[in-house]
Amino acid sequence: MAEELQGLLDRIQSEGIAKAEAEKTKIVEDAKAEAAKIVAAAKEEAASIVKKANEDAEISVTKGNAAIKQAARDVLIALRADIEARLKNLVTESVGEAMTPETMGKIILEMVKAYSVKKPSGDATVELLLSQKDADAMTALFKGALLAQLQANPVIRISSDVSAGLQIGFKGTDVFLDFSDEALADVICAYVGPKLAAALKG
């Protein structure tokens, strides 16, 4: 009886130990599996964070470069506009100084000659648009030799649109020639403008 009891106890103990070992093994394996999952998830999360950080950094660099290029273009456009405005003012002022009564008298004579060649039988009565100061000077000039060369007394009108230089028309025609400081400055700047733009582009 005692031997049977001892055998039963030994078997229970053996089974208990085996079961405990199995439980321990399962717990360890489950823990390892869970740890592996956690590590894998952590690696995936870390990789995702690094990838996003790299993408954000690349986007920031791209945006930064684009902003720098845009700023450079804006500066160049502003610089060009400022230089063109200064050039226009300088040219307009220079043309105004160059358009003396004597110079305008020569222009008038040349235009009348050219008109007379094209229309020898036409009325060469000249109509002039001038500023007030130039009108006074030209009136005095026409009292001299210029009037004899024209062979006709020109009609002089004062125009607030003309600050210097003159505009020439021929009575009864649609011929109109603009030699005002603004018009001549526009022509000169139109010629210089592309060269200026090329110089600014380098």
**pLDDT for the residue 49:** 81
Same domain, 31 and 125: no
**Residue 104 is part of which domain span?**
99-201
Same domain, 83 and 131: no
pTM listed for this prediction: 0.54
pLDDT along the chain (202 residues), means of 10: 56 62 72 77 78 79 83 83 82 82 84 73 72 81 67 76 83 80 83 70 59
Same domain, 125 and 57: no
Same domain, 37 and 51: yes
**pLDDT for the residue 57:** 77
Same domain, 78 and 138: no
Q: Which residues are CB-neighbours of 159 under 8 A, at least 6 positions away?
A: 129, 130, 131, 167
**pLDDT for the residue 37:** 82
Cβ atoms of 134 and 164 within 8 Å: the answer is: yes
**pLDDT for the residue 6:** 57
Same domain, 104 and 173: yes
Q: Where are the beta strands (DSSP E) in the chain?
A: 126-130, 155-158, 165-170, 176-180
Same domain, 105 and 90: no
Q: How far apart are CA 105 and CA 103, in angstroms?
A: 5
- Per the structure, the count of domains in the chain is 2
Q: How far apart are CA 156 and CA 158, in angstroms?
A: 7
**pLDDT for the residue 79:** 81
Residue where a domain terminates, one of 52, 78, 98: 98
Same domain, 32 and 86: yes
**pLDDT for the residue 18:** 65
Q: How far apart are CA 157 and CA 128, in angstroms?
A: 6
Cβ atoms of 126 and 158 within 8 Å: the answer is: no
Same domain, 38 and 94: yes
